[in-house]
Amino acid sequence: MERKKRRLQSTEHREKIEADFGEIHKRLSHIENLYNPQKLNLHFSDLSKADAELYRELLALSCEGLEKVEHHEEYFLIHPLYGDGMFWYDLFLLINSAALRIIGDGNQTDIPQEIVKELIETLIEITTYTTVHLGDITKRNYEALGNTLIAFYSKEILELANRRMRVISSKRAKELINRSIKSAEELVKKENRR
């Protein structure tokens, strides 16, 4: 009886958290519709374009999303990040697709560096929660961070990522961040050799 009661309370708690993310998830869907009007599957396709306005929105959504996760930290330190109603999962897909579009178009300089830096910091901060339970959400975080590092690759960006990684306390999160940094370095070096 006690287990059933705890499960019911956990379900109610998760539903409240999903509702808390509802408004920013709607905004995320709106942004995705603007930049992915063909409704392509972002697991396999890039956005049709990526510009400074998109990156402003991605940063705003990621900052608000991180605040909400931190507000519900007690829940997210023991439950998978999916409890947010898939907000972060969808946001990671959009960030990853935007980075791939930037890489493809080569228009990195169109995106203000301060926005890029803050977005990278947010992607690093959220790893504490995406690595609580390893799974697809962890992979999406890794892809979004790694491809953003590749898209805006510079010594300064790598130093920022390494500096932010050092203050993360979670060993799993540090491993994911470090793997993202190393993958970005290796890929860029490989591309530059051609």
The answer on pLDDT for 120 being more than 80 is yes
Rounded alpha-carbon distances, angstroms, from residue 5 to 9, 16, 19, 96: 6, 17, 21, 39
Q: Name the percent of the chain lying above pLDDT 70.
A: 94
Q: Is the pLDDT of residue 108 over 90?
A: yes
Assign 3-class secondary structure to the chain: CHHHHHHHHHHHHHHHHHHHHHHHHHHHHHHHHHHCCCCCCCCCCCCCCCCHHHHHHHHHHHHHHHHHHHHCHHHHCCCCHHHHCCHHHHHHHHHHHHHHHHHHHCCHHHCCHHHHHHHHHHHHHCHHHHCCCCCHHHHHHHHHHHHHHHHCCCHHHHHHHHHHHHCCCCHHHHHHHHHHHHHHHHHHHHHHHC
- How large is the average pLDDT for residues 71-87? 92
pTM equals 0.92
Residue 55 has a pLDDT of: 98
Residue 189's pLDDT band, with cuts at 50, 70 and 90, is confident
| 13: pLDDT strictly greater than 90 | no
Largest interatomic CA distance in the chain: 65
Query: What residue spans define the domains of the chain?
Result: 2-193
- The residue-averaged pLDDT of 62-83 equals 94
Q: What is the mean pLDDT of residues 40-57?
A: 91
Tell me the average pLDDT of the chain: 91
pLDDT score for 14: 82
Across the range 168-180, mean pLDDT stands at 95
Tokens coding 182: 């190393």
